[in-house]
Structure 1
Amino acid sequence: MSKMSNKLNNRISLPIYFSLAVFFIFLITVVITGLLFYFARIFGLLNEHIAQDGTLLPVMTLIACTIIGTTISAVTSRKMVKSIRMFIEATDRLASGDFSMRLQLKSPPEFKILSENFNRMAEELGGIEILRTDFVNNFSHEFKTPIVSIKGFAEVLKNDDLTKEEREEYLDIVIEESARLASLASNVLELSKIETQSILTNKGWFNVGEQIRQCVLLLAAKFEKKNLSLNVNIQDYELSGNKELLNQVWLNLLDNAIKFTPEHGEIKVSMEKNEDSIVILFRDNGSGIHPEALPRIFDKFYQQDTSHSTAGNGLGLAIVNKIIHLHEGTIACSSTPSQGTTFTITIPNGL
């Protein structure tokens, strides 16, 4: 029964709501005025002379209706005016930066919809503000750290008492930090570029299996350096997409797997083709991701290692996530601490 009444309320539009309100105000005004004249006639306040007067009675009726109607309208409109004032106050607070503000308007139906839309907007703006703050804080940290390091070691290198070995070591650190800074700038620019895209461009058919094999070869030195074993099960499947962007995805996921897999560990890459999509898995037996960190791994600049001691700037997975969504695909991550991580990418094979 309640569901039926809710549906009926939702069907009543704002104009009908106001029309009904005006009708009932008019009806109540007429009824009260009629009762007043009726009781006035009974108690002798309205004599025959006044009743037969063609001018006085209409004027008295008009005055009575005006006073009664205005009083009823003022009382009944207070709720409507109160709702509008609440909305004005809420928008003022929202404009001032208070994104915790919420509205709970229940009637008329349009005001309820307005309230729900306002709350959703406030929630989205609050989320954007948190992301903006996190972005600024993390970017400042990631950008400042290599600059401070370069400055410090550059000052040390001015010392003439350094041995050749020390000088070489410090120069290597300066080069490494410079590369890290350049990588950060490149990733920020790349993320900024793809975030402005809503439509995938430069699409074409290519052999995705061969592309992944080439990415493995590019990172062969890193595999050998950590003595990692590689278990690859990929086929020559054709995929429609942006070859350059997807190349970044495979390189990033492979590089992450190498980074977080201990020496003599194992990395698996597998692929299978479904009726309308291609599924690619990247699995490692590394340190894994903590359950609390798992929902945030695709956030910009987010790193599970809060000490920032691990190489990286927290932009890689954000870029990967955006590229996959541009291809109308999905990316999911499952992980168990100390056991490993699996990234599953699903991309439609007929864009």
Structure 2
Amino acid sequence: MIKLGSTIGKKLGSRLSLPLLFSLAVFFIFLITVIVTGLLFYLADVFGLINEGIIRDRTVLPLLILIACIIIGTAISAVTSRRMVKSIRIFIDATDRLASGDFSMRLKLTRPPEFRILSENFNRMAEELGGIEILRTDFVNNFSHEFKTPIVSIKGFAEMLKHDDLPKEERDEYLDIVIEESARLASLASNVLELSKIETQTILTDKKSFNAGEQLRQCLLLLTAKFEKKQLALNVDLHDYELEGNKELLNQVWLNLLDNAIKFTPEGGEIGISMNRKNGRITFGFRDNGPGISPEALPKIFDKFYQQDTSHSTAGNGLGLTIVSKIVQLHGGTITCDSFLSQGTLFTVTLPAEHLQP
């Protein structure tokens, strides 16, 4: 009860502080004006500047007092308001700089409490805008790089294909590269659009209950050709657990993680997929025995366009794991990655399922 009363008192004090400050300022301006005016007329009377005729006249003396109060009050108000308006001018200058793109601007107003709160909110807003600007710049730079590379490649091989004396084997090889780079561009455009759609989505739509184990089995069937091409062994431990969410979005999560595992697992390697349920949550594990991820790269793998392979020798555009992370977060879950060089990588996805029957 005491804590509640203290909280209410602080909130009430914060709300009343600015009106109270202005009320006190007006009161003191009036008070000082009256004192100064009274003191001036007292001194004028002592030095004989005011004669009996002025004192007896009922019009002149009140008029003189009124004029003196107006002049003195205006002078005092001008001096006092300069200090009060100074903080507002500082805020206006700060907003002007922020509007012009200077996101490093910070306010340090401390009094009254409302101005302190205003400063904190302004600084938080400037920090957020600065972060968004950095992300936007990085996104544009990375997208430009990822988009330009296949375009240049397609242009170069298309020019070489114009030569009539080109052997059929080389022509077919160049055509395959053009087709591959075109597919890479299409994949990049699709992923960017998908990521944009997911990032603007704050509420999960099209939620329904479905068999998560069966969905994973279907994803494995879709990728059968890739598994067979690299002669990969599968270690699968799946269960018919019910999960509620957007089935289409979660399908992208499983396909992305499985495709990543196939991509980085050497020929003849092994991929493990597991499921378990505990404390109202379902945990999915995707393990490969590939080269692993370096400790320096591990914190960045969910960043947009980040690829550990800077040579781009492996297919991809660095958006798959970003999309996976956003979808998992949208479902109220978590995704983590554990990896050791030359030992493999494990992605762990945990999704809530407390309201579903076992």
TM (normalized to structure 2)? 0.84
2:173 aligned to which of 165, 169, 174: 169
Cα distance in 2 between the residues matched to 1:206 and 1:222: 26
**Distance between the aligned counterparts of 1:186 and 1:348, measured in 2?**
28
- 3-state DSSP class of the match of 1:280? strand
Q: Which moved more, 1:254-263 or 1:92-101?
A: 254-263
Letter in 2 for 1:243: K
Distance 1:230 1:51, change over 3 A: farther
Given that residues 103 and 118 in structure 1 are in contact (C-alpha distance below 8 angstroms), is that contact kept between their aligned partners in structure 2? yes
**8 A Cα contact 1:12 1:109, kept in partner:** no
What is the distance in 1 between the residues matched to 2:267 and 2:259? 14
Shift in Å, 1:296? 3.8
Residue in structure 1 matched with residue 206 of structure 2 by the alignment: 202
How far apart, CA to CA, are the structure 1 residues paired with 2:11 and 2:48?
51
**Deviation at residue 9 of structure 1 after TM alignment:** 5.9
Matched ranges for 1:167-246 at <5 A: 167-246=171-250
Measured at CA, do residues 150 and 40 of structure 1 come closer, stay the same or move farther in structure 2, by a change above 3 Å?
Answer: same
Cα offset, 1:335, TM superposition: 4.0
Aligned residue type for 1:130: I
Instruction: Give the 3 Å change call, closer, same or farther, for CA 338–205 of structure 1 in structure 2.
Output: same
Match of 1:126 among 118, 124, 130: 130
Query: How far is 1:227 from its partner?
Result: 4.6
Structure 2 Cα separation of the partners of residues 97 and 36 of structure 1:
53
2-side partners of 1:335 and 1:22: how far apart?
68
SS of structure 2 residue aligned to 1:159? coil
CA distance in 1, matches of 2:16, 2:204: 43
When the two chains are superposed, the root-mean-square deviation of aligned CA atoms in Å is 3.0
Cα distance change of structure 1 residues 340 and 82 upon mapping to structure 2, 3 Å threshold: farther
Aligned to 1:88: 92
Quote the offset at 1:26 in angstroms. 1.8
Structure 1 counterpart SS, 2:346 = strand
The reply to whether residue 32 of structure 1 matches residue 31 of structure 2 is no
More displaced 10-residue stretch of structure 1: 312-321 or 160-169 = 160-169
Change (3 A) 1:28 1:218: same
Counterparts in 2 of 1:76 and 1:312: CA distance versus 1, 3 Å = same
Seen in structure 2, the aligned counterparts of structure 1 residues 95 and 306 have a Cα distance that, compared at 3 Å, is: farther
Q: Which residue of 1 aligns with 2:161?
A: 157
Q: Distance in 2 between the 1:154 and 1:186 partners?
A: 24
Partner residue, 2:273? 269
Which residue does the alignment assign to 1:279? 283
Deviation for aligned residue 1:338: 4.8
Q: How many residues in Structure 1 have an aligned counterpart in Structure 2?
A: 349
Change (3 A) 1:335 1:38: farther
Matching residue's letter, 1:55:
T
Listed as ranges, the gaps of 5+ residues in structure 2 are 1-5
* Conserved 8 A contact 1:146-1:181: yes
Alpha-carbon distance in 1 for matches of 2:83, 2:311:
55
Q: Is there any run of 5+ residues in structure 1 with no aligned partner, and where?
A: none
Partner deviation per Cα, 1:58-87 (whole Å, 9 max, x = no partner): 333323322332222222211222222222
Q: Secondary structure at the match of 2:192?
A: helix
**Are 2:259 and 1:255 aligned?**
yes
CA–CA separation in structure 2 for the residues paired with 1:156 and 1:185: 26
Are 1:116 and 2:120 matched, yes or no? yes
Please give the alpha-carbon distance, in whole angstroms, between the structure 2 residues aligned to 1:263 and 1:37.
Answer: 104
Correspondence 1:313-324 to 2 at 5 A: 313-324=317-328
Q: Which residue of 2 aligns with 1:77?
A: 81
**2:101 counterpart of 1:97:** yes
With the length of structure 1 as denominator, give the TM-score of the two structures.
Answer: 0.86
Q: Which moved more, 1:181-190 or 1:225-234?
A: 225-234
Aligned counterparts of 2:257 and 2:263: Cα–Cα separation in 1: 10
Deviations 1:75-115 (A, max 9, x none): 22112222222222222222222222222222222222222
